[in-house]
Structure 1
Amino acid sequence: MSSTKKPPFAVLLVNLGTPDAPTPSAVKKYLAEFLWDRRVVDVARPLWWLILHGIILRFRPGRVAKNYQQVLTDEGSPLLAISKQQRAGLEAKLEETLGEKIPVLLAMTYGSPSMEDVGREMRQLGVEKLVVLPMYPQFSSSTTAAAFDRLAASLKKCPHWPELRFIRDYATYPAYIRALAESVRQSWQSQGKNSEQLIMSFHGIPQRYTTKGDPYERQCHATANALAKELNLADGEWKLTFQSRFGREPWLQPYTDETMKALGAAKTQGLSVICPGFSADCLETLEEIEDENREYFEQAGGTGFTYIPALNSRPEHIQMMQELVIQHTQGW
């Protein structure tokens, strides 16, 4: 152990993950880990193993790899590149606020950097207290709980745990809502508020998750209503939808893709889309929303589609993260 002063605490940012490269083999490895998690797909293991390895991992990686190639940046995967920017931004903001360096670490639930990688880094730094911030504003057992499961699993063989505090969600946290609203206002200002509708598209989950008690759907509605109120929008000026459904069972509705087609068919002129549940732009926003759903809207007859980027490393987002960390580390 280093003799240097131990930090008063450290912060662990956690996001979903991304393949190590935009290649079929890397995507296959990532999907195999991601889709095998019971939190993500809770189908009986023998049946799901046959579906996953017999169908999905044989045919899907090639198509998904092409999609990743389309959104790739000079720094690699958008999700990983933006997450690194968020980590650096939060670390700098905390040092500015507290007057000392607070280590901010980054891990992914699936893929790299792994929880084990971060665990080794924490031990080298002598971290005794850790606040965990999953980058999911709305809690779901399929995302936030999966991150906690992964963290706990990584600590199973560790003889010495840090004291843990876990930020469960921030669906209506005032600074988060204000940051979202500011991003919408700036987008509207740049286009002269040429928008008939604001669509708030959240990642979907199977409807039965809500039936079983998952609070995600309720929290998405709470976020959407808070944002609409902050923007002074009337009921007919905005709509909440859910994207990225997979398989044949009912997912949370209304569906984003069907909404895009309907609004296009209605000859909507001016449509803004924001994805408040995504803290960083990724395949599900850049390819699915900005590309695929834009196409649905325009091919159906709509015009003036605008995607409002995720909060990413915007100053307001970093400020919000800093406020959350300070709030949850009182007494440390």
Structure 2
Amino acid sequence: MTTSVEKDQPGKGRLAHAASDHPPVAPAKVGVVLANLGTPDATDYWSMRRYLGEFLSDKRVVDYADWKWQPLLQLVILSKRPFSSGKAYKSIWNMENNESPLLTITRAQTEKVTTALHELYGDNVVVDFCMRYGNPSTDSVIRRLQAQGCEKIVFFPLYPQYGSPTTATANDQAFRTLMKLKWQPSIRTVPAYFEHPEYLTALANSVREVYDDTASRPEKLVASYHGVPQRYLMEGDPYHCHCQKTTRLLKERLGMADEEIVTAFQSKFGPEKWVGPATVDYVAELARQGKKHIAVISPAFASDCVETLEEIQEEIRDSFLEAGGETFTYIPCLNDRDDHIAALTAIIRNELGGWL
């Protein structure tokens, strides 16, 4: 996997036997990109509007015809929603680093994965991260890796369950960059990994640790996934099925009875019927049924973000408590836990097969 070069400038050189005016070429390496959803650059109106405009204009996210959707988006939604979304982000913002928690956590994951892969492969692997919406952009990161000599790239969308509005759009963006490059790197996209043994181990460990640390055992574990319109399931998107199977596999790992764990969906947007039950309504119903202590986990999110830190820990928590519940326990995402990093590293090693 080596390219023969002669030293010319730091990190680069002239190809052996090439003409003296040939552009410098970096030694061949393999790149790994951890791809997450995205984040606004700040919580002010215009930063939120740019971020939401990019996100809600993605046909994978909202697939209505432009003539129907864009006037509503530009004239109504983006006039109001940046204020409410900005308030939500401000309540969870990492003030020390002046960035969203998603960015902080994804960077920490990348640093730990880098350390793990360098112990295995040395400098032959370069690890970076990108965001589908916002910064650092997918385009800039793939170009940066190519400039460092990455002729092959493992592109890893950090979504355990495959979904068209998540995994597919992340891959789409990577391919759009390839379409513009004179010299395309070879690229492998990482498939859904919700069945991977080490992912399930980390997920189960996170539940056990919280349960062991609570004064009373939660009466119900709610596995809350980001929702999608019911139509997506009917059109062949496997996301809903992947979520249901994730809950079942987690239940088996934990040795729970069927009635101890349930699948629910959050973050409904728009007038269409979405897959359910809706987490915010379901937890209130649990309280009305007499459940006093529940726990909520988010297996679809690799990193804590506004949907978990604000929506679950504020809106969904309030729904449960206001309906008569007494104790609401949130189980954090896997973030940069060591067992999660071990799972991500194992998945990447598998995808590097034949390359290193």
Aligned equivalent of 1:64, options 56, 77, 85: 85
Q: Which runs of 5+ in 2 are unaligned?
A: 1-10, 14-24
1:273 Cα deviation (Å)? 0.4
Q: Secondary structure at the match of 1:242?
A: strand
Moved more, 96-105 or 107-116: 96-105
Aligned equivalent of 1:277, options 289, 295, 300: 300
Q: Secondary structure at the match of 1:241?
A: strand
The residue number in structure 1 matching 2:232 is 209
The residue number in structure 1 matching 2:39 is 18
Moved more, 90-99 or 50-59: 90-99
1:181 Cα deviation (Å)? 0.3
The residue number in structure 1 matching 2:109 is 86
**How many Å separate the matches in 2 of 1:269 and 1:302?**
5
**How many Å separate the matches in 2 of 1:7 and 1:330?**
16
The residue number in structure 2 matching 1:177 is 200
Q: Which runs of 5+ in 1 are unaligned?
A: none
Q: Secondary structure at the match of 1:9?
A: strand
**How many Å separate the matches in 2 of 1:18 and 1:140?**
19
Query: Normalization by structure 2: what TM-score?
Result: 0.91
Would you say 1:122 and 2:132 are equivalent positions? Answer: no
1:233 Cα deviation (Å)? 0.5
Residue 126 and residue 238 in structure 1: after superposition, are their counterparts in 2 closer, same or farther (change >3 A)?
same
Judge conservation of contact 2:292–2:324 (CA < 8 Å) in 1.
no
Higher percent of residues as strand? 2
The residue number in structure 2 matching 1:103 is 126
What is the letter of the counterpart of residue 299 of structure 2? P
1:147 Cα deviation (Å)? 0.6
Aligned equivalent of 2:59, options 29, 38, 53: 38
Which residues of 2 match residues 1-332 of structure 1 at below 5 A? 2-3=12-13, 6=27, 8-73=29-94, 74-75=96-97, 76-100=99-123, 102-192=125-215, 194-332=217-355
**How many Å separate the matches in 2 of 1:100 and 1:163?**
19
**How many Å separate the matches in 2 of 1:7 and 1:259?**
53
1:193 Cα deviation (Å)? 5.2
**How many Å separate the matches in 1 of 2:143 and 2:315?**
40
1:113 Cα deviation (Å)? 0.3
What is the letter of the counterpart of residue 188 of structure 1? Y
1:98 Cα deviation (Å)? 3.0
Deviations 1:166-198 (A, max 9, x none): 112101111111100000000011114521110
Q: Give the greater-gyration-radius structure (CA).
A: 2
Judge conservation of contact 2:34–2:130 (CA < 8 Å) in 1.
yes
**How many Å separate the matches in 1 of 2:257 and 2:91?**
36
**How many Å separate the matches in 2 of 1:101 and 1:298?**
52
**How many Å separate the matches in 1 of 2:328 and 2:48?**
30
Deviations 1:268-303 (A, max 9, x none): 122110000000000000000011100000000001
Judge conservation of contact 1:136–1:279 (CA < 8 Å) in 2.
yes
What is the letter of the counterpart of residue 140 of structure 2? D
Query: Normalization by structure 1: what TM-score?
Result: 0.97
**How many Å separate the matches in 2 of 1:110 and 1:250?**
26
1:115 Cα deviation (Å)? 1.5
Judge conservation of contact 2:222–2:263 (CA < 8 Å) in 1.
yes
Aligned length: 332
Judge conservation of contact 1:23–1:65 (CA < 8 Å) in 2.
yes
Which of the pair has the greater relative contact order for Cα pairs under 8 Å at 6+ separation?
Answer: 1
> Percent identical across equivalent pairs?
40
Judge conservation of contact 1:266–1:302 (CA < 8 Å) in 2.
no
1:55 Cα deviation (Å)? 0.9
Judge conservation of contact 2:139–2:173 (CA < 8 Å) in 1.
no
Moved more, 57-66 or 146-155: 146-155
Judge conservation of contact 1:94–1:101 (CA < 8 Å) in 2.
no
Judge conservation of contact 2:227–2:266 (CA < 8 Å) in 1.
yes
| Moved >6 Å (runs of 4+) | none
